[in-house]
Amino acid sequence: MIGNLPYFAVAALVIFGLFGAIFGRNMVKIAVAVSLVEAATNLFIIALGYRNGGSIPVFTQAGEHAGYMVLPTPQALTLTAIVIGMATTALLLSLIMMLYRHYGTLDVREIRRLRG
Amino acid sequence: MRFQALFVIAILVVGGLFWGAADAVHPFGNPGDAPMDEYFLRNAQRERGANNVVTSIVFDYRGFDTLGEAAVLFTAVSSVAALFRGKGWQ
Amino acid sequence: MQHPLSCIVRTICNAFAWFVVVFGVYIIVHGHLTPGGGFQGGAVVATFMALLLVSHGATKCLGWVRTRFFYLMEHVGLLTFIAAGFLGIGVTFFYNVLALRGGLFGSAVALGPNSGALNTAGTIALMNCAVGIEVVGGLSMILLYMVQGVLHVDKPTLRGKEEAGHDR
């Protein structure tokens, strides 16, 4: 189990994020928990592509280890995932601002009770 | 109160599945065989003339995904601009 | 958000803000040589706007910038990116015609580890700059729109609670 430690850290982060998103009462804390799940996903994708003793896949900075590099494709996919996560977080925060302007409170249980 | 207990059990089941999946993935450090990445690492500098293999994958070998990502960023900005528009705002 | 922070914070912001822009442009332009590229460098340059908004207060900072400028930057960036994809349409969409051919961005690079040259890598370098301009415009516009939304919350909505976020 100690050899796969990054993957267990990813599982723990996903559990914490899901717990915060389902049982959170403040809307901003729900947004933070969703952002935590996205960060855990990016960490998982990057940790999949590591090779023991490999160097950075950039020839300018590889030095003498240029023959054995880590896999570059998961890093390229993670760049796209980070930008999409940022777009999701921006829209989530804007919707929270609109809800606060309309209902006057940040408590999720109050918003479920008031109608219109 | 019944719903809260159900949610806790659901989170524990999902968490247990994630934990089991973290155990069953390949060991950290040897991913096994990766023919596509070996092709990129060997030929990206000679074919495309770029020192950075990750940037040449993002913008050249898989440039179409980057077009989709730029479109997602553009959509997010226009959605935020469309939300903050109305009589009360500037 | 409306009021500026203390004098120490404002002085450090005035001394430091433009160096952030220079650092971000360095990351964008050298995207094909060192780790970085369009998206990462664009996010670094957008922190210039965030630093100004937090230090000097939103009411003062909205009088300095116009939203039209960042709107134009974002559109020019995305259109340049698509035009750079159409340059190699003789072979396929997004083909790298400028690489290894001499002329603009066309030198060959020595194989193996080397300290790189800026003139290499064809359309990759063009696309880095285009995406960097687009990300700077997009992220700054998100910041400006959200700050305008904070400033225009009208008083009856708050229902007697002056401090936003303390609702218990």
Query: What are the pLDDT digits (tens) for B21-54?
Result: 888 888 888 888 889 999 998 888 888 888 889 9
What number is the ipTM of this complex?
Answer: 0.84
CATH topology of domain A2-113: Helix Hairpins (1.10.287)
* CA C119 – CA C125 distance, rounded (Å): 9
* CA C112 – CA C114 distance, rounded (Å): 6
pLDDT at C168: 37
- Residues in CB range of A93: below 8 A, 6 or more apart: A31, C146
Instruction: Please state, in angstroms and as integers, the Cα–Cα distance from residue C70 to each residue in B69, C49, C73, C139, C156, following that order.
Output: 19, 11, 5, 9, 33
* CA A27 – CA A107 distance, rounded (Å): 7
Mean pLDDT of A78-87: 94
Is B49 in contact with C148 (Cβ distance < 8 A)? no
Mean pLDDT of B58-80: 93
Kindly tell me if the per-residue pLDDT of C109 is higher than 80. no
* Torsion sign across C-alpha atoms B55, B57, B59, B60: positive
Q: What is the pLDDT of residues C119-150, one digit of tens each?
A: 888 888 899 999 999 999 999 999 999 998 88
Which sequence spans correspond to the domains of chain A? 2-113
Which residues are A69's β-sheet partners? A55
State the nearest Cα–Cα gap between A38 and chain B, in angstroms.
15
* CA A59 – CA C111 distance, rounded (Å): 9
Kindly tell me if the per-residue pLDDT of C154 is higher than 80. no
Which sequence spans correspond to the domains of chain C? 7-150
Tally of CA atoms within 13 A in the half-sphere of C167 that contains its CB? 18
Count Cβ atoms below 10 Å from residue C168 Cβ, excluding itself: 7
Nearest beta carbon to residue A72 from set B4, B30, B54:
B54
Mean pLDDT of A9-28: 92
* Residues in A 84-113 with any Cβ partner in B closer than 8 A: 84, 86-88, 90-91, 94-95, 98
* CA A23 – CA C19 distance, rounded (Å): 43
Contacts of A90 in chain C (CB under 8 A): 142, 146
Is B70 in contact with C81 (Cβ distance < 8 A)? yes
Is A107 in contact with C168 (Cβ distance < 8 A)? yes
Name the pTM for this structure.
0.87
Closest CA to B28 of A40, A51, A70, A73: A51
pLDDT at C83: 92
- One-letter amino acid identity for C16? F
- Residues in CB range of B8: below 8 A, 6 or more apart: none
Q: What is the pLDDT of residues A41-72, one digit of tens each?
A: 999 999 998 988 888 888 888 777 778 889 99
B73: pLDDT confidence band, cut at 50, 70 and 90?
very high
- One-letter amino acid identity for B3? F
Q: Does C81 touch chain B (CB under 8 A)?
A: yes
Contacts of C115 in chain A (CB under 8 A): 60
Kindly tell me if the per-residue pLDDT of A35 is higher than 80. yes
* Residues in B 28-57 with any Cβ partner in C closer than 8 A: 45-52, 54-56
State the nearest Cα–Cα gap between A110 and chain B, in angstroms.
17
